[in-house]
Amino acid sequence: MKHLEAEKFQMGDLLSQIPEMNDTFKIVLNKQTQFPLSLNGQTLFFSNEILNHYHMSEERLHQFLKEKTENKVNVHNGHLSLQDSLYEEIPPIRLNIKTSQYSLSCDRTGAYTLPEPIIHYLLLYNLSMIARYETEWWSELLKTNSSNDYPIIKNFLCLSLEKPPVLIKKYLLSKL
């Protein structure tokens, strides 16, 4: 992975890269963050909605995904063929562990190509800094629950008990 020194990411951009957060974003902010992909064997099928959202032709999407996945994906007639095992993470294609559904992010920010364990680490680190140095904001958030931040943060923290261990296990098993 390339060096991330001096890279800055918005928390919302990082959170939108996690497929399990899609439902929370839909309910709280009325925003879709992930496009679902249907799976058949080693082939993932995508809808024309993705092409329309990205403003790309199928050929351009093919080039884009080949570049972003380091040639681990082939695109043909509305489907993605994976050259490697589905067990290896291939950003920007992400797996929702609750539904076992693969998805592609709606947002193409700098966080788009980050591996998901890094995304979880960055979010948890930032939340720990907020808890330590922004105690007034954190206290206000917990007392009043008045902003949209509370349900998003709460859902992420609950998810963080489950998903990072699964991601780390998958990573370690892929290295055997």
13-60 pLDDT per residue, tens:
999 999 999 999 999 999 999 999 888 777 788 888 888 999 988 888
Q: Could you read off the pLDDT of 70-81 as tens digits, one per residue?
A: 777 777 777 777
Output the average pLDDT for the chain: 86
> Who's near 9: CB < 8 A, 6+ residues apart?
109, 110, 111, 114, 122
Question: Tokens in use for 95?
Answer: 């797996």
b/e map of 109-125 (b: 16 or more CB within 10 Å)? eebbbbbbbbbbebbee
15 vs 23: CA distance, rounded Å: 12
Express as a percent the part of the chain with pLDDT over 90: 46
> Who's near 142: CB < 8 A, 6+ residues apart?
150
